[in-house]
Amino acid sequence: MRTNASIRPPLPSPVPARLAIWADAASAPFCIRVAEAAGASVIGVGGPRGFDAAAIALPVGCATCDDLRRVLTSGECDAVWIARHAGELDRASGFSPALVTQPRAPRIVLSDAAPSSLAEFLQSGWTAARGDARLPCELLRFVGWPNAAAGKLGVLASLEDVGQLRSVSVEFCVPSACGTLGHLLLGAADVLAGIAGIPETVDASFAATSRAPGLHALPGESLARLEGDALALARFPNGLAATLAASDRARAWSLRILVRGERDELLVEHRESDAAGLMADSLAAALSGDASDTAATSRRLDRAFAIAQAALLSCRTQQPESPGWLERTLGAAVG
DSSP 219-261: --SSSTT--EEEEEEEE-TTS-EEEEEEES--SSEEEEEEEEE
pLDDT of residue 214: 46
Q: What is the CA 90 to chain-centroid distance, rounded?
A: 18
- Those residues whose C-beta lies under 8 Å from the C-beta of residue 226, and which sit 6 or more positions away, are 113, 180, 181, 182, 185, 206, 219
The boundaries of every CATH 3.30.360.10 domain in the chain are: 146-273+295-332
CATH architecture of 146-273+295-332: 2-Layer Sandwich (3.30)
Tell me the C-alpha distance between 182 and 223, whole Å: 5
pLDDT score of 164 more than 60: yes
Read off φ and ψ for residue 44, nearest 5 degrees. -165, 150
Residue 192 Cα distances to 38, 142, 180, angstroms: 29, 17, 19
Average pLDDT on 11-29 reads 79
- Average pLDDT over every residue of 84-97: 71
**Sheet arrangement for strand 241-247:** 2-3, 265-272, 253-261, 165-173, 241-247, 228-235, 201-208
Q: Is the pLDDT of residue 244 over 70?
A: yes
Residue 4 reports pLDDT greater than 60 = no
Give tens-digit pLDDT for 248-274.
999 999 999 999 999 999 998 989 889
Minimum mean pLDDT among 146-155, 157-166, 193-202: which range? 146-155
Percentage of residues of the chain with pLDDT beyond 90: 51
On whether the pTM is more than 0.85, the answer is yes
Reading across the β-sheet that carries 18-22, which strands appear in turn? 63-64, 41-46, 18-22, 79-82, 107-110, 141-142
User: In the chain, pLDDT over 70 holds for what percent of residues?
Assistant: 86
- Residue 263 has a pLDDT of 94
The mean pLDDT of 180-204, rounded to a whole number, is 95
Q: Which fold has domain 14-142?
A: Rossmann fold (3.40.50)
**pLDDT confidence tier of residue 179, bands split at 50, 70 and 90:** very high
Does 150 have pLDDT greater than 80? no
pLDDT for residue 159 is more than 80: yes
User: What's the pLDDT score for residue 215?
Assistant: 42
The whole-number average pLDDT for the span 157-186 is 92
What average pLDDT does the segment 34-58 reach? 89
pLDDT band at 92 (very low <50, low <70, confident <90, very high): low
CA separation for the pair 245, 159 (Å, rounded)? 21
Tell me the HSE value of 159 on the side-chain side, using a 13 A CA sphere: 15
Helix (H) or strand (E) holding 102, with range, is none
What confidence score (pLDDT) does residue 294 get?
Answer: 85
- Separation CA 302–CA 291 (nearest Å): 20
User: Is a pLDDT exceeding 80 seen at residue 213?
Assistant: no
Which residue spans of the chain are classified as CATH 3.40.50.720? 14-142
Mean pLDDT of 114-140: 84
User: Mean pLDDT over all residues of the chain?
Assistant: 85
